[in-house]
Amino acid sequence: MVDVGRKDETERVAIAKGSVKMAPETLAHITDKNMKKGDVLSVAQLAGIMGAKHTATLIPLCHPLALSHVNVIIHVNNDSYAIDITAECKITGKTGVEMEALTAVSVAALTIYDMCKAIDKNMVISDIRLTHKSGGKSGRFDAE
C-alpha cells in the first residue's frame, strides 16, 4: 500500500457513475416490482453502499477507510432502457475515496444483473467511470 502517514487530512469526495442497459421488458419487470428475487432497485442501492464499505477487502492495496458518507442513487432511464447508477463517497482523511465510489457503482450494477439474469442475459454493464473527485494534494477533477 502507499504510505499516507505524512499526508494531511482533508475532506475528500468522489462521485462515480455507470449504467445497466437491458431489454424494455426487463426494465418493465423491475419498475413494476415483478422480479422473483425482490425489489431490484432497493437491493442494488443497499448492495452499492455495502460495496463501498468493503472496498479494501475487494481491491488489493486499497486502504481500509472509515467513510463518513455513502449515497447510491438509482435512476430508471426509460428512454435508453437502462438503470443509471450514481455513487458519492465522502471522508475526512489522508487518502481519497475514488475506489469506494467506483466499487459502489460496480456492485450495484452487478446486483441488478444478478437479480435479472433469469429473464435477460443480454444486459450490458457499461460506462463505469469517475466523474468527480475533490480534496487531497491533486485537488479537483471533473470528467468532461
Q: For residues 133 and 20, is the Cβ–Cβ distance under 8 A?
A: no
Q: For residues 47 and 112, is the Cβ–Cβ distance under 8 A?
A: no
Q: For residues 72 and 87, is the Cβ–Cβ distance under 8 A?
A: yes
84 annotated active-site = no
Q: Of the listed 32, 39, 84, 114, which one is catalytic? A: 114
| 76 DSSP 8-state letter | E
* Phi, psi (rounded to 5 degrees) for 89: -125, 145
Question: b/e string for 76-112 if b means 16 or more Cβ within 10 A?
Answer: eeeeebbbbbbbbbbbebbbbbbbbbbbbbbbbbbbb
Residue with cell 473527485: 133
Catalytic residue annotation = 114
